Amino acid sequence: MADSRTVDLGIVLQGGASEQCFEIANTTSESFRITSVTSSCYCHRTNLVEGLEVRAGETLPFHFAVSTLDAGLQVARLTVGTDHDRPEFRNMQFSVRALVQSVIECRPATVDFGSVQLGASAERTVSVNVSEAASQLVFEDASVSKNQISVTAKPSSGSVQVRLTFQPEAEAFDLDDHLVVRYRNNEGVEVRRIIPVRGTASPIPRESTTQMEVP
């Protein structure tokens, strides 16, 4: 059980175990009921639900897990409200933090199409691999949000080759998108890597015209 309402798990691999057990100990002489359970993000999981009663002198254990979907420092906060009269029980805060280490390697780390004229197209390929520590991960999909970029993914010798094709059509614009590569482990836990996608859709240069003087 956690001795504190704040737990630092240190370094955790993407998709790795990040669940922590906490306790709500009712040290008073009055029972109270859980009236609200609010997480700082839907991606952080807990088995604590509204409506549970904690009787006088009893302890309610529950689990709270920080999301390991993305790499980097992740902090999960849980706010628990009750109908107890005492302030220290009416609003309780719990948190779990972890430095999530990436297990997905993408080369290049940024996709840059440069300048692409309207009606033309450009292709870029991203090679995706997972570390040996995450060999149980299975590739799920790769996607972008812009409909003028098509994405195809093909497994190749333990890695995945993701091909992006940028084909601007109607108007000039600066491309600011992200390639999202998703994997899933055998327990159904999803991890992902987000790669910036940049470029410019350029207008077709106008042909220069020279007026001829009529003698």
Q: What is the domain class of 104-202 according to CATH?
A: mainly beta
CATH code of 6-101, in short, is: 2.60.40.10
pLDDT in the model for residue 146? 83
**pTM of the entire structure?**
0.78
pLDDT of amino acid 137: 87
Q: What is the pLDDT of residue 208?
A: 47
Contact 4, 21 (CB under 8 A): no
What's residue 96's pLDDT?
Answer: 95
Give the alpha-carbon dihedral of 185, 126, 129, 181, to 10 degrees: -20
Q: What residues does CATH 2.60.40.10 cover in the chain? A: 6-101, 104-202
Structure tokens at 122: 């450009």
Beta-carbon neighbour count of residue 37 at 10 Å? Answer: 18
Find out whether 20 and 96 touch, Cβ atoms under 8 Å: yes
Distance in angstroms (rounded) separating the CA atoms of residues 155 and 59: 50
Residues of the chain with pLDDT under 50: 1-3, 208-210
pLDDT value for 211: 52
Answer yes or no: are the C-beta atoms of 181 and 162 closer than 8 Å.
yes
